[in-house]
């Protein structure tokens, strides 16, 4: 099963660089079309999904690093 367009958009939006956390949250909500809580849940699932890693390895590596650092995925660290 390939990565859906919505899942790919979530990963790319979360891995992006933003001027502030509000812009990141807005991009994630827009990309998913779902609540922010549901989007974070899906993003965590994608970080653990081998098929997602095949589609977006660089973005998911960065997101996993951010998650493991405890930085809540924000680009500011």
State mean pLDDT over 2-6: 91
Q: How far apart are CA 56 and CA 53, in angstroms?
A: 5
Per-residue pLDDT, 77: 46
Predicted confidence (pLDDT) at residue 72 exceeds the cutoff of 80 = no
pTM above 0.85, yes or no: no
pLDDT, tens only, 11-70:
999 999 889 989 989 999 999 999 999 999 999 999 999 999 999 999 999 999 988 888
Q: Spell out the domain ranges in the chain.
A: 5-69
């Amino acid at each position: 099963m390939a990565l859906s367009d919505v899942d790919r958009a979530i990963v790319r939006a979360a891995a992006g660089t933003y001027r502030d956390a509000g812009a990141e949250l807005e991009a994630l909500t827009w990309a998913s079309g779902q609540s922010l809580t549901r989007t974070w849940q899906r993003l965590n699932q994608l970080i653990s999904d081998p098929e997602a890693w095949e589609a977006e390895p660089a973005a998911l590596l960065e997101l996993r690093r951010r998650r493991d650092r405890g930085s809540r995925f924000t680009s500011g660290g």
